[in-house]
């Protein structure tokens, strides 16, 4: 079945929930942006189509752990004199702790007007802005699959969700 891309917030929210809810945070990588990897332990489907087991969330916009104001205070107190940006090392630390602690499974997904929030079973939450100064704010996609061959993705661009999936 061929995949199509459609602008559809409702379907995008449903697909993100189907992809991430119950999935475990299994790692991340960082070069110029963070890319988080999630793996589900149960099969998933949407509209009768089986969803791949592994997805990546590439983030190009502002994001934080917990309440935004608390995060800003924490970053400010994390003073590393040899670091140009203290936000990124602190994010890497938090992601490493999430990866190697109990409860790194996605419990709840909340799509608000301004951000996507992922809540983990251990109570930690990660929020990602829906707005960005670059091409897109974030994308949930299959790893190691070219855009042309991709069957599944959700792209957030200017607060809008663009969904790529097999449609009947």
User: 14 lies in which domain range?
Assistant: 3-166
Q: How far is it, in rounded angstroms, from Cα 42 to Cα 65?
A: 26
* Angle of helix 87-99 versus helix 68-77 axis, rounded to 10: 110
| Domain count of the fold of the chain | 1
Global pTM value: 0.92
Q: What is the pLDDT along the chain (168 residues), one digit of tens a residue?
A: 678 899 999 999 999 999 999 999 999 999 989 999 999 988 888 888 899 999 999 999 999 999 999 999 998 887 766 677 778 989 999 999 999 989 899 999 999 989 999 999 999 999 999 998 888 999 999 999 987 788 999 999 999 999 999 876
Q: How far is it, in rounded angstroms, from Cα 94 to Cα 60?
A: 18
């Amino acid at each position: 079945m061929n995949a199509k891309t459609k602008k559809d917030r409702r379907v995008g929210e449903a697909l993100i929930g189907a992809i991430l809810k119950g999935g475990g945070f299994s790692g991340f990588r960082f070069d110029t942006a963070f890319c988080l990897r999630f793996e589900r332990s149960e099969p998933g489907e949407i509209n009768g189509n089986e969803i791949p087991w592994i997805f990546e969330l590439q983030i190009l916009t502002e994001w934080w752990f917990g309440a935004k104001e608390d995060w800003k205070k924490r970053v400010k107190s994390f003073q590393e004199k040899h670091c140009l940006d203290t936000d990124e090392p602190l994010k890497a630390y938090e992601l490493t702790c999430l990866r190697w602690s109990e409860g790194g499974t996605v419990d709840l997904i909340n799509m608000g007007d301004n951000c996507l929030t992922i809540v983990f079973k251990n109570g930690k939450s990660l929020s990602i802005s829906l707005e960005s100064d670059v091409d897109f704010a974030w994308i949930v996609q299959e790893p190691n699959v070219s855009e042309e061959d991709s069957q599944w993705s959700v792209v957030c661009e200017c607060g809008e969700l663009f969904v790529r999936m097999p449609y009947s």
